[in-house]
């Protein structure tokens, strides 16, 4: 509601949601972000200027995230509560807070922590929420406690809007987005907002409504991925529910049937076209069903996270052997095992590279921000069909729960490229794997008039089992030649990107969702370059080597091993000067990158990042 409201005043927003992996009604979640009049709005750091809290738990959890000069909005009705009042608060945090209060010589109440913040230079706006909401209710003729409870969100959002200098109109727009467009609901909430705004005298800024002059979209990473799938021609998306991947497939499902464009060729006469979203019984089935769909000729994908991806290993090896192109959108989360289902990590790079037994060609490609998530979905759909290999599209929890108001990307930046199926005039037996073609002809059952055998066993060109050593060697080499083809056809700018001064002596190297934080940090760090790697397999050895040679390189990663650093050494023979690693389930922030770089400059080789926002 708040993000949309601020966005509706013409601003860009970049935010992410953090939440506990538990069942509804437990610990709270929060959203942290930045508001800007330009895009990209910078990635958030380790502290905030404005904290809008609903309860004392949130105040306590974020005591050390508020910066001097920042604003805390909180409910004074929670003043007397302590960490022990909140049964869902993490025990180690409660202990840290109590220990801190003891050291400061005060009782660990919400009031005392708010006072501590005030003394530390934070502006504290404390209001008795429920008392005010009841009063507002009386004014606008609402007295039912159930109805009043529904106003809390609007009330708190309005307090935030007031501090930013925005009026109730923008809160009402947020309400309209979050709660639906029912006019009476919006009107009522608008009145609540107007009254709430009057309660705030202070102002941290005075945002002027502006017109950004470009079309903007409000979405999150899961949604950006689903939109990319729709535009990129995915027509069978199979999934088994898993956090944080499910919303990718479910958004795709929600969008069926899709609106047809005017330039849609033979489809233009239709208003809408369909597709299939399919919930499988497990991930073994999900990947197999998607592969079956691709065999029949549909662009097919499955979206999953680590535990589900583990179950897909055998099927990916088969897709490599059988030469079927499918996309796995892998929403990485913090492992190992069930790990932290709702938390961030980049731990599955090794696994993506080496998943599946035997040796077979594949593509592993990572996206780093929402625009990339969207456009890369089109790219990977193209590649799966073009090269007929499994394509693992690496994204993560951080991206899935990034919410942005941002310029609408232009889908025509990536062409949708298809390979027409072979159609014989008369039914014939056809070779599914002719030796003279690196990528086999596109034979489709029921379409090509072809009778052909696809095989998971090593096979001859006709798809029949083959173990003759000479024939095996030929077929093996033919399959593996796809890696060279992929390397030669995909342009360098889609594999790695370099930001910053061309002659920087020191560079930061990263991949995936650390990109926005590293880019924001570059603004603060002088004379530093950023080598951003998107293509992880086949690894762009020459490009990476060219950027790394003669430079000191700090690899910044959301994992324990420094997996990109290790594969860079393995493939390119160039190692890191230092690594900065974070594996506490939280994303790498702009402040983390700056901190890591300072330590790197000071000569530290292994830097552990531990910020907790």
Partner 1 sequence: MTMQVVKRAAADYRWVKPPEWCPGCGHFGILQSIYNAFAELNLDPANVVLVSGIGCSSRLPHFVRTTSVHAIHGRAIPYALGIKLANPSLEVVVVGGDGDLMAIGGNHLLHLGRRNVDMAVILMDNSVYGLTRGQAGPTLPAGIKVKAVPKANPHGEINPLLLALTAGFTFIARGYSYDIKYTTKLIAEAIRHKGSAFVQIYSPCVTYNNVMTREWYEKKIYKLEEADPAWDPVVHDEKEVDLKIRKALDKIVERDRLPLGVFYRNELVPTFDERYESLYDPNYRKLPPALQPVEADGKSVVDFEKLVADRLL
Q: Is 165 in the site for partner 1 (CB under 8 A)?
A: no
Q: Is 451 in the site for partner 1 (CB under 8 A)?
A: yes
Q: Taking Cα atoms as reference points, which of 580, 247, 189, 206 lies closest to residue 395?
A: 247
Q: Is 444 in the site for partner 1 (CB under 8 A)?
A: yes
Q: Which stretch binds partner 1 (CB under 8 A): 228-236, 342-350, 364-372, 530-538?
A: 228-236
Q: How far is the CB of 1 from partner 1 (least distance, A)?
A: 14
Q: Is 38 in the site for partner 1 (CB under 8 A)?
A: no
The two structure tokens encoding residue 600: 């790197």
Contact string (CB under 8 A) for partner 1, positions 390-409, x = contact: ---------------x--x-
Interface with partner 1 in residues 332-371 (CB under 8 A): none
Provide φ and ψ at 312, rounded to 5°. -95, 0
Q: Is 211 in the site for partner 1 (CB under 8 A)?
A: no
Provide φ and ψ at 337, rounded to 5°. 50, -145
Among 109, 448, 514, 563, binds partner 1 (CB under 8 A): 448
Q: Is 7 in the site for partner 1 (CB under 8 A)?
A: yes
Query: CA-to-CA distance for 422 and 208, rounded, in angstroms?
Result: 59
Q: Which stretch binds partner 1 (CB under 8 A): 42-50, 57-65, 438-446, 515-523?
A: 438-446
DSSP single-letter state for residue 389: S
Coil, strand, or helix at residue 126?
Answer: strand
The residue behind tokens 């430079």 is 551
Name which of 293 and 306 has its Cβ closer to partner 1. Answer: 293
Among 50, 94, 136, 230, binds partner 1 (CB under 8 A): 230
Q: Taking Cα atoms as reference points, which of 343, 449, 468, 365 lies closest to residue 414?
A: 365
Name which of 147 and 457 has its Cβ closer to partner 1. Answer: 457
Query: CA-to-CA distance for 221 and 303, rounded, in angstroms?
Result: 13
Interface with partner 1 in residues 8-37 (CB under 8 A): 8
Query: CA-to-CA distance for 308 and 302, rounded, in angstroms?
Result: 10
Q: How far is the CB of 219 from partner 1 (least distance, A)?
A: 6
Name which of 88 and 429 has its Cβ closer to partner 1. Answer: 429
Interface with partner 1 in residues 251-270 (CB under 8 A): 255-267, 270
Q: How far is the CB of 229 from partner 1 (least distance, A)?
A: 10
Q: How far is the CB of 584 from partner 1 (least distance, A)?
A: 32
Q: Is 4 in the site for partner 1 (CB under 8 A)?
A: yes
Q: Is 412 in the site for partner 1 (CB under 8 A)?
A: yes
Q: Is 300 in the site for partner 1 (CB under 8 A)?
A: yes
Sequence-distant (≥ 6) Cβ neighbours of residue 551 within 8 angstroms: 504, 505, 506, 507, 529
Q: Is 235 in the site for partner 1 (CB under 8 A)?
A: yes
Q: Which stretch binds partner 1 (CB under 8 A): 279-287, 520-528, 532-540, 591-599?
A: 279-287
Interface with partner 1 in residues 461-490 (CB under 8 A): 463-465
Q: Is 415 in the site for partner 1 (CB under 8 A)?
A: yes
DSSP single-letter state for residue 267: G
Q: Is 308 in the site for partner 1 (CB under 8 A)?
A: no
Among 103, 105, 274, 550, binds partner 1 (CB under 8 A): 274
Query: CA-to-CA distance for 439 and 427, rounded, in angstroms?
Result: 22
Q: Is 594 in the site for partner 1 (CB under 8 A)?
A: no
Among 152, 204, 454, 574, binds partner 1 (CB under 8 A): 454
Q: How far is the CB of 204 from partner 1 (least distance, A)?
A: 23
Q: Which stretch binds partner 1 (CB under 8 A): 116-124, 395-403, 459-467, 560-568?
A: 459-467
Q: Is 322 in the site for partner 1 (CB under 8 A)?
A: yes
Give the DSSP H/E element, type plus range, for residue 38. none
Coil, strand, or helix at residue 294?
Answer: helix
Q: Is 298 in the site for partner 1 (CB under 8 A)?
A: yes
Query: CA-to-CA distance for 133 and 75, rounded, in angstroms?
Result: 12
Sequence-distant (≥ 6) Cβ neighbours of residue 512 within 8 angstroms: 346, 366, 367, 368, 394, 395, 396, 399, 558
Interface with partner 1 in residues 537-556 (CB under 8 A): none
Q: How far is the CB of 156 from partner 1 (least distance, A)?
A: 22
Query: CA-to-CA distance for 142 and 139, rounded, in angstroms?
Result: 8
Sequence-distant (≥ 6) Cβ neighbours of residue 145 within 8 angstroms: none
Encode 33-62: b = buried (16+ Cβ within 10 Å), e = exposed: bbbeeebbbbbbbbbbbbbbbbbbbbbbbb
Query: CA-to-CA distance for 4 and 15, rounded, in angstroms?
Result: 11
Bridge partners of 55? Answer: none
Residues near partner 1 (CB under 8 A), total: 88
The residue behind tokens 């770089």 is 597
What's the half-sphere exposure (Cβ side, CA atoms, 13 Å) at 251?
A: 19
Q: Is 231 in the site for partner 1 (CB under 8 A)?
A: yes
The two structure tokens encoding residue 1: 């509601």
Parallel, antiparallel or unpaired: strands 363-366 and 216-220? unpaired
Q: How far is the CB of 182 from partner 1 (least distance, A)?
A: 15
Q: Which stretch binds partner 1 (CB under 8 A): 97-105, 294-302, 508-516, 566-574?
A: 294-302
Among 150, 453, 545, 608, binds partner 1 (CB under 8 A): 453
Q: Is 296 in the site for partner 1 (CB under 8 A)?
A: yes
Name which of 312 and 543 has its Cβ closer to partner 1. Answer: 312
Sequence-distant (≥ 6) Cβ neighbours of residue 506 within 8 angstroms: 527, 528, 529, 551, 552, 553, 554, 600, 601
Q: Is 433 in the site for partner 1 (CB under 8 A)?
A: no
Coil, strand, or helix at residue 133?
Answer: helix
Name which of 298 and 533 has its Cβ closer to partner 1. Answer: 298
Q: Is 503 in the site for partner 1 (CB under 8 A)?
A: no
Give the DSSP H/E element, type plus range, for residue 593. helix 590-601
Positive/negative CA dihedral, 549, 552, 557, 562? positive
Among 14, 113, 170, 227, binds partner 1 (CB under 8 A): 227
Q: Is 582 in the site for partner 1 (CB under 8 A)?
A: no
Q: Is 429 in the site for partner 1 (CB under 8 A)?
A: yes
Among 142, 171, 197, 315, binds partner 1 (CB under 8 A): 315
Q: How far is the CB of 383 from partner 1 (least distance, A)?
A: 14
Sequence-distant (≥ 6) Cβ neighbours of residue 402 within 8 angstroms: 14, 15, 16, 220, 221, 369, 370, 513
């Amino acid at each position: 509601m708040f993000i949309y409201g601020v966005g509706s005043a013409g601003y860009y927003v970049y935010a992410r949601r953090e939440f506990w992996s538990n069942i509804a009604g437990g610990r709270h979640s929060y959203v942290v972000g930045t508001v800007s009049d330009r895009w990209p709005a910078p990635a958030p750091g380790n502290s905030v200027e404005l904290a809008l809290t609903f309860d004392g738990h949130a105040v306590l959890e974020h005591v050390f995230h508020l910066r001097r000069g920042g604003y805390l909005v909180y409910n004074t009705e929670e003043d007397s509560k302590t960490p022990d009042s909140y049964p869902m608060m993490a025990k180690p945090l409660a202990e840290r807070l109590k220990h801190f209060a003891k050291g400061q010589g005060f009782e660990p109440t919400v009031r005392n922590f708010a006072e501590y913040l005030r003394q530390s230079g934070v502006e504290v706006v404390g209001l008795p929420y429920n008392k005010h909401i009841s009063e507002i209710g009386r004014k606008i003729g609402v007295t039912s406690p159930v109805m009043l409870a529904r106003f809390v969100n609007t009330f708190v959002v309005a307090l935030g809007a007031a501090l930013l200098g925005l009026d109730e109109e923008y809160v009402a727009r947020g309400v309209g987005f979050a709660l639906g467009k029912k006019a009476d609901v919006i009107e009522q909430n608008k009145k609540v907002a107007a009254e709430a705004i009057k309660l705030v005298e202070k102002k941290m800024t005075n945002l002027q409504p502006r017109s950004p002059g470009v079309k903007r979209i409000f979405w999150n990473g899961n949604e950006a991925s689903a939109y990319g799938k729709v535009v990129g021609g995915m027509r069978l998306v199979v999934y088994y529910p898993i956090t944080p991947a499910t919303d990718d497939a479910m958004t795709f499902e929600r969008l069926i049937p899709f609106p047809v464009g005017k330039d849609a060729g033979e489809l233009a006469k239709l208003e809408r076209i369909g597709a299939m979203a399919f919930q499988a019984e497990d991930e073994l089935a999900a990947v197999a069903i998607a592969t079956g769909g691709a065999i029949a000729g549909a662009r097919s994908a499955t979206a999953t996270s680590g535990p589900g991806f583990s179950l897909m290993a055998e099927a990916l090896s088969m897709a490599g052997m059988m030469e079927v192109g499918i996309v796995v959108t892998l929403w990485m989360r913090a492992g190992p095992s069930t790990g932290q289902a709702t938390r961030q990590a980049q731990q599955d790079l090794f696994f993506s590279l080496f998943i599946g037994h035997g040796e077979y060609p594949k593509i592993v490609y990572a996206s780093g921000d929402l625009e990339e998530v969207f456009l890369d979905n089109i790219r990977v759909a193209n590649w799966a069909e073009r090269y007929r290999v499994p394509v693992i599209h690496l994204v993560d929890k951080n991206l899935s729960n990034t919410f942005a108001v941002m310029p609408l990307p232009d889908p025509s930046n990536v062409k949708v490229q298809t390979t027409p199926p072979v159609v014989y005039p008369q039914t014939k037996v056809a070779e599914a794997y002719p030796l003279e073609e690196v990528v086999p002809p596109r034979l489709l059952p029921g379409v090509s008039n072809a009778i052909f055998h696809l095989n998971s066993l090593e096979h001859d060109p006709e798809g029949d089992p083959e173990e003759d050593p000479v024939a095996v060697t030929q077929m093996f080499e033919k399959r593996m030649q796809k890696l060279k083809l992929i390397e030669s056809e995909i342009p360098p700018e889609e594999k790695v990107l370099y930001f910053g001064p061309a002659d920087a002596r020191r560079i930061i190297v990263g991949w995936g969702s650390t990109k926005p934080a590293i880019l924001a940090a570059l603004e603060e760090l002088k004379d530093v370059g950023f080598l951003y790697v998107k293509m992880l397999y086949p690894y762009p050895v020459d490009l990476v080597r060219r950027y790394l040679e003669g430079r000191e390189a700090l690899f910044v990663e959301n994992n324990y091993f420094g997996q990109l650093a290790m594969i860079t050494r393995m493939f390119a023979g160039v190692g890191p000067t230092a690594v900065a690693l974070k594996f506490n389930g939280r994303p790498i922030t702009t402040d983390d990158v700056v901190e890591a770089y300072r330590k790197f400059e000071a000569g530290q080789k292994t830097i552990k990042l531990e910020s907790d926002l």
